[in-house]
Chain A
Amino acid sequence: MQDIIIIGAGVTGCAIARELSRYELDVCVIEKSSDVCEGTSKANSGIVHAGYDAKPGSLKAKLNVRGNEMMEQLSKDLDFPFKRNGSLVLCFDAKDKGQLERLLEQGRQNGVKDLRIITGDEARKIEPELSDEVCFALYAPTGGIVCPFNLTIALAENAAVNGVKFHLDTEVIGVSKENDGYLVKTSKGDFKSRIVVNASGVYAAKIHNLVSDEKINIVPRKGEYCLFDKTVGGLVSSTIFQLPTKYGKGVLVTPTVHGNLLVGPNAVDIDDFEGVNTTAEGLSDILKRGGLSVKQLPTRQIITSFAGLRAHEDKGDFVIGEAKDAPGFFDAAGIESPGLSCAPAIGEYMADMIVEKYPAKRKENFVSKRKGIPSMALASPEEKKKLIEENHLYANVVCRCELVTEGEIVDSIKRPLGATTLDGVKRRTRAGMGRCQAGFCSPKTVEILARELGVDEGEITKNNKGSEFIVGKIKEL
């Protein structure tokens, strides 16, 4: 019998796991994918919102402002990239200035600091590449950008170091109430637990509705993105949002925390819970709409495009808390934007809620800090030399576009909850994230993975089972 099972190893599940790992509790996370951060958490804007978007009084509003406040210290404790780059909401028509004022007021009510409305010219002083059509903007200096992969992985690793067990490649197929807790049936056998936390993203309604008669409904809402080469990452330095335009809800243009440029997303409700395919219409739509914000989008510099699914709950707010008719079953459902920004706060909020009802003792030996993988690309020449002195594999460059070395890749595999797939290595080290999109480094990374994991290269996958790179040896077909 577990104390707590968390279903889902996205950013929400991992944040909750890390907060719960502060207590003397037996916690495990069950995840259907081969790695953490494989669903909504891997494909989003990577934005830490300031917090003016959500309706005052909503969970989204409260947790966003708190999450934004927590992010900076957390990024230092857990060593993941975060930058407070500020954000702008653009207004293209003076008639719409009222909408900015409403956002400003909403933000103030939510407790967002230093918000102000500036003129188009002032905005262009901050961001010279902004479109000349911009007449006003809401400026939020507390807006930020974060690496969604490293945030999630850091939370998961730290939780693991503090005793949380992760069951990957394990799909939940049933949850049912038993006398003293819950029976969680999975593709890898049954688990029993006093408490279940439902952090299963787009599947959260399905899981919730297994144990509660107070049904919720989640629709996967697809958002498509284009990612641009680092050579144009400096086009803007702040995150650029738009008020809704005649072409629909605004599309953002932002630098990523790693220095690429990101444009997206659109919002299309779909039926397929795994429908992360991009579409020609979607991509052309976001480029057209994103293009309104700046003088010119350098579309020749696109290096990849992707789509993610937001878990949109019908009522529009997060569903966080114990199900009324299912004691011990806690939801973190409907976690759509600003879910990434909120994650640390959701973890804290959920853990507080659980231990309030089911008291637990705080650990004395909780490890609050985690050291990430050193990055040769970001290291100074002196730091590079030092890293190489410690481990000569840090001198062997595998991914030339992002300057990732064999040392970093081996570290990503060997550390707690290490990478076992090419995508796992990619999200932990950035190998393959650059302009050649793994053309040169993937055969080498596959080789290193096979060597370190002690398996044949043919068994190495991109991500989940069935995504093997190689179908056999030559002369075998």
Chain B
Amino acid sequence: MDKDLVIIGGGPAGLAAAIAAKEAGVSDLLILERDNKLGGILNQCIHNGFGLHTFKEELTGPEYAARFIDKALKLEIPYKLETMVIDISKDGEYKLVSYMNREEGLVVVRAKAVILCMGCRERSRGALNIPGYRPAGIYTAGTAQRYVNIEGRMPGKEVVILGSGDIGLIMARRMTFEGAKVKLVAELMPYSGGLKRNIAQCLNDFDIPLLLSHTVVDIKGKERVEAVVIAKVDENSKPVPGTEEEIKCDTLLLSCGLIPENELSNALGVVMNRVTGGPLVNESLETDIEGVFACGNVLHVHDLVDYVSEESAQAGKKAAEYLKAKEGKCSCSESGNKAEASIKINAVDGVRYTVPSVIRLSRMEDRQTVRFRVGAVYKKAAIQVLAGDKEIMNLKKAALAPGEMEQVILQKSVLEALPDLTEVTIRVKTD
């Protein structure tokens, strides 16, 4: 089978990318989704707070997803459910996408362009290397969320949560609503990795304590969790002897970070960013492999789905431009010209990474959003943007935190006005 564009994943990223590509004129496209419905992880996020930026109203996850699913259906975008992509490889200028499902078995699609929208997974107990027994009752927060919200099952009654990522905070409230006792949330860092509003609405409103600079140092119980031992950690995140406290519980939920799911990208040989765990991309959200784009949590972990949608629409639009250029229907037909002038974006002084990490002026939109995260908590700081040595932006920030994604918008006209510009630098400026 041949397709102009294959979109891997039908969650918020895949939907927004597909809609934008279709609206930009790509009609021969296909979404491949592994679950039994479109919408991805939004389907289990039944709490509200989605869509404030996009729709100026508060929606639940499934409602937010429905807006995009409806649009995709209206645009008659083809999709396949319960379909797992098992490999992507290169075949000259084409990409071969192998997928499996019950109806068709194993199928290989030859695609001119691919958008990677596989999302992310949660860091597991094993990856955290938490010592102790390995009983039932240890779940990542997202798995517990699936049990409660999709399966209608309770994974436990007395809960300790390690990590204050947003899913953990949401699940603290959700488990409380269902009658479970959430005893505490322990966070290794001296600050939370979650959104401020979630700490207020999910912990403070229910008197659930948040213990910063604490971690789980032991898990007890041979068949089912019976207790966990928490301890304070020092500035190097090492447990402080003598501060251990045993907390009786039957469940430990983990909300300790998300990891972009790039196994397929790696199989294809895409160059990755070590900081984000996602591909390195340019202004078009195109990876180092021509015609392969990435957006959403597979690219870098977002905290708001609104930004996923926005970013993914950009990827869809750029994929459409790429396909047009390939057909020579567009003035920007210098596609594939590797020698094109490009501007590298440096992330320094507290800025951990940027997406994109390089901009080709010729392909840049008038306004280019650059997203990034900072590595620590800052009060009264500024985000400074330098073009070469020249400051082109200085945004005062009352507070910056690793849990909140930041962005700056670069103007094409400003960059164009600086001849021979090769580098833009984004940094946190403190007094």
Hey, which bits of chain A sit against chain B, CB under 8 A?
Answer: 226-227, 231, 274, 276-280, 282-283, 302-306, 381, 384-385, 388-389, 392-393, 395-397, 400-401, 403, 405, 435-437, 439-440, 442-443, 447, 457-458, 461-477
Contact A477 B157 (CB under 8 A): yes
12 sampled A-B residue pairs with Cβ under 8 A: A283-B129, A303-B126, A388-B106, A392-B103, A436-B121, A437-B126, A457-B153, A462-B135, A465-B223, A467-B223, A473-B154, A477-B157
Which of B124, B153, B179, B219 counts the most A-chain CB atoms under 10 A from its CB?
B153
Q: Are B124 and A304 in contact (CB under 8 A)?
A: yes
B residues less than 8 Å from A475 (CB atoms): 178
What is the CA–CA distance of A276 and B222 in the complex, to the nearest angstrom? 8
Query: Do residues B178 and A474 form an inter-chain contact, with CB atoms below 8 A?
Result: yes
Please determine whether B100 and A397 come into contact, CB atoms closer than 8 angstroms. Answer: yes
Contact A397:B131 (CB < 8 A) given known A227-B126, A469-B136: no
Residues of the B chain whose Cβ atoms lie less than 8 Å from the Cβ of A469:
136, 147, 155
> Are A304 and B106 neighbours in the complex by a CB distance under 8 Å?
no
Neighbouring B residues of A396 by C-beta, 8 Å: 82, 100-102
- Contact partner, B224, options A304, A405, A440, A467, Cβ 8 Å: A467
Q: Is the interface of B mostly helix, strand, loop or mixed?
A: mixed
A84 → chain B, closest Cβ, in Å?
Answer: 28
Q: How far is the CB of B269 from chain A (nearest CB, A)?
A: 13
Of A231, A303, A395, A468, the contact of B124 (CB 8 Å cutoff): A303
Q: CB distance A474 to B106 under 8 Å?
A: no
Are the C-beta atoms of A443 and B223 separated by less than 8 Å?
no
A303 and B154 contacting across the interface, CB-CB below 8 Å: no
The complex places the Cα of A305 from the Cα of B124 at a distance, in Å, of: 11
Asked if B127 lies at the interface with its beta carbon under 8 angstroms from chain A, I say: yes
Name the B residues within 8 Å of A303 (CB-CB). 124, 126-127
Main secondary structure of the interface of A (DSSP, over half): mixed
Tell me, in angstroms, the Cα distance from A458 to B140 when the chains sit together: 19
Q: Given contact pairs A397-B100, A435-B127, enumerate 13 new A-B contacts (beta carbons under 8 Å).
A: A274-B222, A277-B219, A277-B220, A385-B105, A388-B106, A395-B104, A395-B105, A439-B121, A439-B142, A443-B146, A469-B147, A474-B152, A476-B154
Distance in angstroms between the alpha carbons of A275 and B143 in the assembled complex:
27
Q: Is B125 engaged at the interface, CB distance under 8 Å to the other chain?
A: yes
Chain B: residues with CB nearer than 8 A to chain A?
Answer: 34, 82, 84, 86, 98, 100-106, 121-122, 124-127, 129, 131-136, 139-140, 142-143, 146-148, 150-157, 178-180, 217-220, 222-224, 239, 250, 263, 266
B84 touches A397 (CB 8 A): yes
Report the minimum CB–CB distance from B236 to chain A (whole Å). 14
How far is the CB of B118 from the nearest CB of chain A, in Å?
9
Chain B residues positioned under 8 Å from A439 (CB to CB): 121-122, 124, 139-140, 142-143
Contact across chains for B132 and A393 when beta carbons are under 8 A apart:
no
Q: How far is the CA of A457 from the CA of B124 in the complex (A)?
A: 23
Q: Are A464 and B126 in contact (CB under 8 A)?
A: no
* In the complex, residue of chain B having the shortest beta-carbon distance to the beta carbon of A465: B223
Contacts of A477 in B (CB 8 A): 154, 157, 178-180
Check A276/B121 contact, CB under 8 A, given A470-B154, A477-B157. no
Q: Whose C-beta in chain B lies nearest to the C-beta of A231?
A: B266
In the complex, the answer to whether A443 meets B143 with C-beta atoms within 8 Å is yes
A280 / chain B contacts, CB cutoff of 8 Å: 131, 217, 239
| B222 contact set on A, CB distance < 8 A | 274, 276
Residues of B within 8 A of A282 (CB): 131
Which residues on B sit within 8 Å (CB–CB) of A277? 131-133, 218-220
A439, B139: Cα distance in complex, Å: 7
| B131 partner residues in chain A, CB cutoff 8 A | 277-280, 282-283, 305
CB distance from B156 to the nearest CB of A (A): 6
Q: Is the CB of A470 within 8 A of B155?
A: yes
CA of A304 to CA of B133, assembled, Å = 12
For the complex of A and B, 5 pairs with smallest distance between CB atoms: A304-B126, A477-B179, A466-B223, A397-B84, A437-B124
B106→A385 contact, CB < 8 A: yes
The minimal Cβ–Cβ distance linking A303 to chain B, given in whole angstroms, is 5
Q: Give the contacting residue for A437; candidates B125, B151, B153, B266; CB below 8 A.
A: B125
Q: Are B132 and A443 in contact (CB under 8 A)?
A: no
Which of A280, A405, A436, A463 lies at the interface centre, i.e. has the most chain B CB atoms within 10 A of its CB?
A436
Residues of B within 8 A of A384 (CB): 100, 105-106
Task: Report the nearest A residue to B101, measured CB to CB.
Answer: A395
Choose from A302, A462, A465 the contact partner of B126 (Cβ within 8 Å).
A302
**Min CB gap A463→B, angstroms:** 8
B47 to chain A, nearest CB (A): 15
Q: Is the CB of A464 within 8 A of B122?
A: no
Q: Tell me the complex Cα distance, A472–B148, Å.
A: 10
Contact present for B106 and A381 (CB under 8 Å): yes
Whole-angstrom CA separation of A62 from B42 in the bound complex? 60
- In the complex, the chain B residue whose C-beta lies closest to that of A422 is B136
With both chains docked as a complex, state the minimum distance between the C-beta of A207 and any C-beta of chain B, in angstroms: 21
Chain B residues, CB < 8 A from A405: 100
Contacts of B219 in A (CB 8 A): 277
Give, as a whole number of angstroms, the nearest-CB distance from B429 to chain A.
Answer: 31
CB atoms of B129 and A392 under 8 A apart: no
B136 x A468 contact (CB < 8 A): yes
Bound CA span A477–B178, Å: 7
Residues in chain B near residue A470, CB distance under 8 A? 147, 153-155
From B100, B155, B220, give the contact of A388 (CB < 8 A).
B100
Q: Which residues of B contact A385 (CB under 8 A)?
A: 105-106
By the criterion CB–CB under 8 Å, are B102 and A393 in contact? yes
A472 touches B153 (CB 8 A): yes
**Distance in angstroms between the alpha carbons of A466 and B137 in the assembled complex:** 11
A462 touches B100 (CB 8 A): no
Closest chain B residue to A436 by CB distance? B121
Whole-angstrom distance from the CB of B98 to the nearest CB of chain A?
A: 8
A468 to B147, CA, bound (A): 13
Bound-complex Cα distance A464 to B133 (A)? 14
Inter-chain CA distance A457–B142, complex, in Å, is 19
Report how far A440 CA is from B121 CA in the complex, Å. 8
Residues of the B chain whose Cβ atoms lie less than 8 Å from the Cβ of A276: 133-134, 222
Contacts of A461 in B (CB 8 A): 136, 223
A227 vs B125: C-alpha distance in the bound complex, in angstroms?
12
Nearest CB in chain A: distance from B353 CB, A:
17
Residues of the B chain whose Cβ atoms lie less than 8 Å from the Cβ of A474: 148, 152-154, 178
